[in-house]
Amino acid sequence: MSNYNWLLSLCVIIMSTKIFSIISRRAQLPQVVGALMAGLFFGPAVLGALTLHYFGVQFCLLPSELLTRLAELGVIVIMFTAGMETNLEELKASGKVGFVVALTGVIVPLGMGAGLMYVFDRGANLISAIFIGAVLTATSVSITVETLKELGKMSTKVGNTTLAAALIDDILGLICLTIITGIAGEDVNLTLVFAKIAGFFVFISAVGYLYNKFMKWSDHVQAQRNLRRYPVMGFAFCLFMAWASETLFGIADIIGAFAAGMIIAMAPKGQYIASKFDTIAYLLLTPIFFANIGLEVTLPTMSYHLVIFTIALVVVSVISKLGGCGIGAKLCGFSNRQSYQVGLGMVCRGEVALIVAGKGMSMNLISEDYLGPIVIMIIVCTIITPIVLKASFKGQDDVAGDTMFEDKFMLEEQADEFEEDLYRRRSLLASRTME
Amino acid sequence: MSNYNWLLSLCVIIMSTKIFSIISRRAQLPQVVGALMAGLFFGPAVLGALTLHYFGVQFCLLPSELLTRLAELGVIVIMFTAGMETNLEELKASGKVGFVVALTGVIVPLGMGAGLMYVFDRGANLISAIFIGAVLTATSVSITVETLKELGKMSTKVGNTTLAAALIDDILGLICLTIITGIAGEDVNLTLVFAKIAGFFVFISAVGYLYNKFMKWSDHVQAQRNLRRYPVMGFAFCLFMAWASETLFGIADIIGAFAAGMIIAMAPKGQYIASKFDTIAYLLLTPIFFANIGLEVTLPTMSYHLVIFTIALVVVSVISKLGGCGIGAKLCGFSNRQSYQVGLGMVCRGEVALIVAGKGMSMNLISEDYLGPIVIMIIVCTIITPIVLKASFKGQDDVAGDTMFEDKFMLEEQADEFEEDLYRRRSLLASRTME
């Protein structure tokens, strides 16, 4: 008989993320913070360290291939639904501003990160220093998206700009990494990278056009007999696009999933498909995604020197991104408050930072000692972003109304009850037709 | 960068199971058959063998840890929802009949299987022969459940009896295996096994009582503010029960999940929770479960002798289960047709047969040559059961009405449209409350 502990792990993750989220909300924090904390608590960082200390045995949840894959699937579904909720026209409108924000948001952290490394380690060569800067460039859009969704701010000017900037940021980060590794001596063809990015845009335009045509044809030809096939095909399309963007164009899978979401939302049955991914996300995939981030953390034993560096890295990562993106937004005519909110939304770092760090280590450009500080920087940014972002919208809610928020809440509640009622009727209908 | 092929695998599985299911339905076959065929087609058995033959490279989907785990999660969710749809009172009413059907359905295949082995291989000792018989005892309830659900026959007398018998069958199979391995010399304590089974029933009764109490209290205390927590907690409960039954009582995880489903359905909010698992099942987990069965098949190269044995094994496995269970049902006063339907429902074999076979091989009681025939037997039983079972209900539909079925279909369609409408209103409400 095989080992069944994975069932218990899933059980603990799903239950604890929910309980921690409820506690978070009671404490006026975004629920995302609770989900992150749950992983941190039940993982090696807290429970593992405690049990090791007191009982001599490390008893905690550990990352596994299954959890990692499900977490990847989770972030793909988060970006897919974000894509389905994004209005292309509005995103286009935010495109220019987004580009400026992304650009300043890459240049400032790159410079400040390199400067920090130079100050901290006089022996470091320029390329190593720039690599630490490069680690700070890429925003992790998924946590910001989830927080903006939770606050109901996805479709605002700030939300759209942040999203556009974070998407462009990923591409800039990629180019940045390519240039640096190119300079560092590896044989990377810059032209090829640009060609691939251009190819990607041609690809999604073509696929989007074909998908739209096909769905319009299918909508005409077929009776609406069986609606289930639409979400199923939509999901398969999302997975294909995620795979294709990574494998064919070297662009992050989540960007492919996002594009798939936008394409589906614009075609017939888009809204119906979008309505179906809510349950799968909150029941299984999103909790695992957030908890898994916490699980990956093992607090390393660090020298005094490294602790100082860690603190400095955290401060620089927050200030540089907030400042860089804030300046960009301000240049584009945003108010001070809006610029601050856009900057905050971009502070989150994620797996791209780890990928860059891993690349640097494999090229012997940065020492493995720096992995600890980088992981801590990611965690701190990830936890403070939702908290401060929520707080930054606070005043605004007071103006337009906490009552509004309450209203939305009550409406959702009504819709839930309505849905429950619908289900009852449906089963009644089904049972009536049986013998 | 890691390998992204798993995304493509998931995409192909989700898409192909849907397409094959649609084709199945057009051909008047149950959709489950299509899903099984999809795995068989894209797996090593067909596409793998074809590409190996024509191109010299094996290009096909392969089983992986991720797919295996997701398939396990899939069968757990199938049994969990089956539990939520089961009426305990009706199941109790079917309990006695179910026990008789299960008992005759274990004894006849055990005897016939052992007889076959004895005829086929004169050198086989009694224990080896009985082992082959034991492989034929355990019914795989999940495929039958899925087919009965699809046909809308879960809540009929035949459906309930089949379900009860299949559940008891699992426990009998377990006892049977324990006795045989005990006789074969391993030190297995029979009293302990019975104590564990009794313990399991005490455990689910106690947990069920506590869960019900807790939900009633929670229903009183909490406002209905946030309904999402109920399905989330229900899912965590299901996973816990699946884990607990395997780990604490040595009883199959799917039985624990089934018990969790029954417990939840009887407590407050049960119907609401049940309504939420539909999407996650059909979008992700069920397709993977069925496709994975097909993927596991690699057609072995077999001697002429083994081919004959395989054919004989398939015939014996179908006849013995159909006959054994049919006689049991007939003894309990079922009509000929109903007895036939119950017997058919029990023909399906699954992972338990493989577990028994694996156990026998690890104890050197049966040769590894027999794995091929056993796998083919499982596949054939799995594919023919839904087809013949659907056909066996055919006449009945004509009496009570194909129109009835059509009716149910149209009502579901209306409900789907209603739901789509609900979603639109909901997003309208949400957008209205934003600034």
> Residue A387, SS3?
helix
Cα of first residue to Cα of last residue in chain B, in angstroms, is 41
A435 touches chain B (CB under 8 A): yes
Out of B18, B226, B280, closest to residue A229 by CB: B18
CA distance A352 to chain B (A): 11
The answer to whether residues B193 and B174 touch, using CB atoms and an 8 Å cutoff, is yes
Is residue A428 predicted with pLDDT exceeding 70?
no
pLDDT of residue A405: 39
Contact B405 A153 (CB under 8 A): no
Mean residue pLDDT of chain A comes to 80
Is residue A302 predicted with pLDDT exceeding 90?
no
Q: Which of B2, B6, B7 to mutate to test the interface with A (most CBs of A within 10 A)?
A: B7
Is residue A297 predicted with pLDDT exceeding 80?
no
Q: Which two tokens stand for residue B410?
A: 């149209």
pLDDT of residue B358: 73
Q: Which two tokens stand for residue B301?
A: 């190269």
Query: Which residue of chain A has the CA closest to B11?
Result: A236
CA distance B174 to chain A (A): 13
Please report, as a single letter, which amino acid is at residue B344.
L
How far apart (Å, rounded) are the C-alpha atoms in residues A164 and A176? 18
Of A106-110, A155-159, A275-279, B250-254, give the lowest mean pLDDT range: B250-254
B18 touches chain A (CB under 8 A): yes
B435 chain-A contacts, CB cut-off 8 A: 156, 396, 400
B79 chain-A contacts, CB cut-off 8 A: none
CB pairs under 8 A between A and B: 214
Q: Which of A2, A6, A7, A193 to mutate to test the interface with B (most CBs of B within 10 A)?
A: A7
Please report, as a single letter, which amino acid is at residue A245.
S
Torsion from C-alpha of A75, A76, A82, A84, nearest 10 degrees: -160
- CA distance to A372, B153, B257, B354, per residue, from B75 (Å): 40, 19, 9, 16
Report percent pLDDT > 70 for chain A: 85
Contact B235 A279 (CB under 8 A): no
Contact B18 A412 (CB under 8 A): no
CB-based burial, B153-168: b 16+ in 10 Å, e otherwise:
bbbbbbbbbbbbbbbb
pLDDT of residue A319: 94
CA distance B303 to chain A (A): 30
Contact B233 A18 (CB under 8 A): yes
Query: Which residue of chain B has the CA closest to A20?
Result: B229
B153 chain-A contacts, CB cut-off 8 A: 434
Is residue A321 predicted with pLDDT exceeding 90?
yes
Q: Given the structure tokens 């928020």, which residue do they identify? A: A405
Task: List pLDDT tens digits, range B364-385.
Answer: 777 777 877 887 888 888 888 8
The answer to whether residues B131 and B365 touch, using CB atoms and an 8 Å cutoff, is yes
A405 chain-B contacts, CB cut-off 8 A: 433
> Residue A186, SS3?
coil
B20 chain-A contacts, CB cut-off 8 A: none
The answer to whether residues B268 and B219 touch, using CB atoms and an 8 Å cutoff, is yes
Q: Which range in A301-305, A412-416, B310-314 is most confidently predicted, on average pLDDT?
A: B310-314
- Evaluate whether ipTM surpasses 0.90: no
| Residue A246: DSSP 8-state | H
A15 chain-B contacts, CB cut-off 8 A: 232-233, 236
pLDDT of residue B106: 92
Out of B232, B242, B426, closest to residue A415 by CB: B426
How far apart (Å, rounded) are the C-alpha atoms in residues B100 and B108? 12
pLDDT of residue B417: 56
Out of B400, B417, B423, closest to residue A271 by CB: B423
Q: What is the pTM of this model?
A: 0.78
A53 touches chain B (CB under 8 A): no
Task: List pLDDT tens digits, range A165-190.
Answer: 888 887 787 677 767 776 665 556 67
- CA distance to A44, A252, A342, B394, per residue, from A89 (Å): 45, 23, 19, 53
Please report, as a single letter, which amino acid is at residue A407.
D
Of A44-48, A320-324, B143-147, B402-406, give the lowest mean pLDDT range: B402-406
pLDDT of residue B401: 35
Contact B253 A4 (CB under 8 A): yes
pLDDT of residue A294: 79
Task: List pLDDT tens digits, range A185-228.
Answer: 555 667 777 788 889 889 999 999 999 898 888 777 765 556 78
A7 chain-B contacts, CB cut-off 8 A: 76, 239-240, 242-243, 246, 253
Residue A205: CB partners within 8 Å, gap ≥ 6?
none
Q: Which residues are bridge partners to B139 per DSSP? A: B349
Q: What confidence category does residue A113 fall into, taking pLDDT thresholds of 50, 70 and 90?
A: very high
pLDDT of residue B195: 84
A355 touches chain B (CB under 8 A): yes
How far apart (Å, rounded) are the C-alpha atoms in residues B51 and B46? 9
CA distance A305 to chain B (A): 31
Is residue A120 predicted with pLDDT exceeding 90?
no
B227 touches chain A (CB under 8 A): yes
10-residue mean pLDDT series, chain B (435 residues): 79 93 80 82 83 78 87 88 79 84 92 89 80 86 79 82 84 73 65 82 92 84 71 93 88 84 87 85 88 76 83 94 93 91 88 73 77 82 85 63 39 54 57 45
pLDDT of residue B56: 75
Q: Which two tokens stand for residue A29?
A: 């924090």
Task: List pLDDT tens digits, range A375-391.
Answer: 788 888 888 888 888 88
Is residue A359 predicted with pLDDT exceeding 90?
no
Contact A415 B431 (CB under 8 A): no
